[in-house]
A and B are shown apart, each in its own frame.
Chain A
Amino acid sequence: MAKHVWIRKKGECYFLSVLNMEKKVIEAIGISKSFHDPITVKVLTDVSFAIHAGEFVSVVGKSGCGKSTLLYILSTMDTSYEGELLLDGVSMKNKKDAELARVRNEKIGFVFQFHYLLNEFNNLHNVMLPGLKYEKLTPKEVEHHAYEKLKILGIEKEALKYPNQLSGGQKQRVAIARALINDPLIIMGDEPTGNLDKKNSDVVFHIFKELAEEYQQSLLIVTHDLDFAANTQRTITMEDGRIQKGPTNNLTA
């Protein structure tokens, strides 16, 4: 999948592995975080990495090593950390609550272990809500868009049902459609297949894969499933709040 490009500069030749574009959609620079309740525990130490547009990256690590904590910081929901977070080249430091909400709305799609669908709305409207909030498109267009996302995930037939009328795997797919509605810069997932059986996990994995390959969607997925991780383009391994050094590119990709 990675394109290999030769660049000629001052007579020297560099071999670069470039992914679609040089553009970094998200970049963490020396992010650290401690909890102070009840005693100070350092959960993240000097985490630095970047994800390029179109990359499908997985994060693995032992339970309690700080994966979720990192993801909450990257998604701008958690703002108490040291270091620098750049989203689309823009620093997220010193942004107001409403501005961060806007960033989450426009640039980040989040998929959790739990689906978090609103039972008061049907699946279509659940998918539409962040799109309506964005206000870039008219409600009619948002609806059309939502149908397309549901189609990608193969559940357009369930659009007018309510979340409690769906299976666990179907709910998770609606949640992924919701994450896609505003064509985000990056999709983040915190064990999105954690609640699913093997079959449904595979379905979700293939959806992610398809999103990455066909739609050049950047993805950052935390997982415990090593098979899952091995099938992504790159795996970041964490241990005790640090990123482990070593090769990260998965050759099988």
Chain B
Amino acid sequence: MKINLITRISVALLTARLKQTIIAAFGVTFSITMFITLLSFMAGLNDLLDNLILNRTPHIRLYNEILPSPIQPINRSTAYPGAYHFVKHIKPKNELPEIRNSEAIIKALENDPNVRGVAPKNTVAVFYNVGAINLTGVINGIDVDAENRLFIFQDYVVEGKTQDLKNTPNSIILGIGVAKKMLVRIGDNIQITTSDGTRFPLKVVGFFQSGIEELDKVQSYATLATTQKILGKPVSYVTDIQIKLHDITLAPALARRYHTRFGTEAIDIQTANAQFETGSSVRTLISYAVGITLLIVAGFGIYNILNMMIYEKMDSIAILKATGFSGKDVNAIFITIALTIGLVGGALGLIFGLGLSALIGEIPFDTPSLPTVKTYPISYNPKFYIIGAVFSIITTYLAGYFPSKKASRVDPVDIIRGK
């Protein structure tokens, strides 16, 4: 009943100054709209850029580095203990970076509950033969199904089908950059040469575009079996094991564990792509800063209207107090006014924010480097809406706090005497 009375008085005061109230509420609406739109767009962009890397990057990659023998012959001499050895002459062995015992490792990983999936991979350094010129390149030998499932490979194949790679023997999906240089079409045959001089014919079944131009000029894809055939290696020959985890945050710890367990190098995504994390977090920070600045400006708008209202309504405040409303009641009346402006303005802001970001999400955004993206990226994360709502209430409350305090302290005697 009391709450009801306070609200009635608040609403009466609000409607008496409807225009200013609407303008103040519009300030909140505008800032929340911008806040939501900005964050949705920025987050969408962040997700897009991150996914560009994250989708294509394993959480952990197992591989072998070609390194010189860690124990050089001179180390075996006991003549000069503790001395520095300049003599180094055993170079790396003539071996390919094969992961030994790869089948057992893959089996072990597939049984690991942390692991979402495993995709073995080969990389073969090759030359693409274009007439008299050889272009350097890399062919990745992949397990097509695992690659599709874990790295949405199919999204990046802009022409042709990934299944053709599996079903056509000795086939290749060329990087779009390579394909352009070689002037080939789907169905054409090309020649490649390996680093040890073997020539090999391959049938083009598709084109691949990663969005990273440098990569597309070099990389192509074939099946594991094809690359093994090119290299003349057995079916167990695998140079990389790519792992996707259920929880990406476990990657560094698990990478260390796999390193000791399997005796291979193991690199986690966080170490490999540290710069992307930084980029996204800075972008997010900027969006929040801009959004909150807008809200604070809106807060000053509310502060102003309340101060004006209190100045105009001094008589009303005085008589309310003279007839038995306490300072607390008067305070509650003006806080209610502030929060009403904040809630109405904020709620509209959330709706408009959703609308505006949806609108931006419809704008065509065609860029050759991002084949999977057709419109501007928007993230509809409910987190932004919750933050927007909470912040609009907090800022309006703070904006209303001091004027309300002032109103509650109005001394009716001063006002009545002044008449």
Give residues in A with beta carbon < 8 Å to B: 68, 72, 75, 77-78, 97-98, 101-106, 110, 112-114, 116-121, 129-130, 132-135, 139, 178, 190
Contact = CB atoms under 8 A, between A and B. Distances in A.
Contacts of B416: 72, 77, 112, 114, 116, 190
Interface residues of B, number: 28
Contacts of A133: 2, 5, 323-325, 329
A230 B15 CA distance: 46
Contacts of B319: 116-118
Contacts of B325: 101, 105, 133
B322 interface: yes
A154 B13 CA distance: 29
Contact of B5 (A117, A132, A178): A132
5 closest Cβ contacts across the A-B interface? A105-B324, A101-B326, A120-B12, A116-B319, A130-B323
B181 interface: no
A112 B326 contact: no
A104 B413 contact: no
B72 interface: no
A113 B1 CA distance: 31
A70 B322 CA distance: 15
A101 B320 CA distance: 10
Contact of A130 (B16, B324, B412): B324
A97 B1 contact: no
Interface string B1-31: 1100100010011011000000000000000
Contacts of A72: 413, 416-417
Contacts of B16: 119-120
Interface of B: 1-2, 5, 9, 12-13, 15-16, 315-316, 318-329, 411-413, 416-417, 419
A104 B416 CA distance: 16
A98 B321 CA distance: 10
Nearest to B320: A129
A74 to B, nearest CB: 12
A133 B326 CA distance: 10
Nearest to A118: B316
Contacts of B328: 98
A122 to B, nearest CB: 10
Contacts of B1: 132, 135, 139
Given A120-B16, A139-B1, A134 B324 contact: yes
A72 B322 CA distance: 10
A68 B323 CA distance: 17
A120 B15 contact: yes
A178 B326 contact: no
A133 B328 CA distance: 13
Given A77-B411, A106-B324, A114-B419, 15 more contacts: A72-B416, A77-B321, A77-B413, A97-B327, A104-B322, A104-B324, A105-B325, A110-B322, A112-B419, A114-B315, A116-B316, A118-B12, A120-B12, A120-B15, A129-B320
B12 A105 contact: no
A101 B321 contact: yes
A203 B202 CA distance: 113
Given A114-B419, A132-B5, A135-B2, A78 B413 contact: yes
Contacts of A68: 417
A74 B320 CA distance: 18
Q: Select the residue from A68, A78, A101 with max chain B CB neighbours within 10 A.
A: A101
A101 B315 contact: no
Contacts of A135: 1-2
Q: Select the residue from A78, A103, A129 with max chain B CB neighbours within 10 A.
A: A129
A104 B320 CA distance: 10
A90 B189 CA distance: 108
A105 B419 CA distance: 22
B321 to A, nearest CB: 7
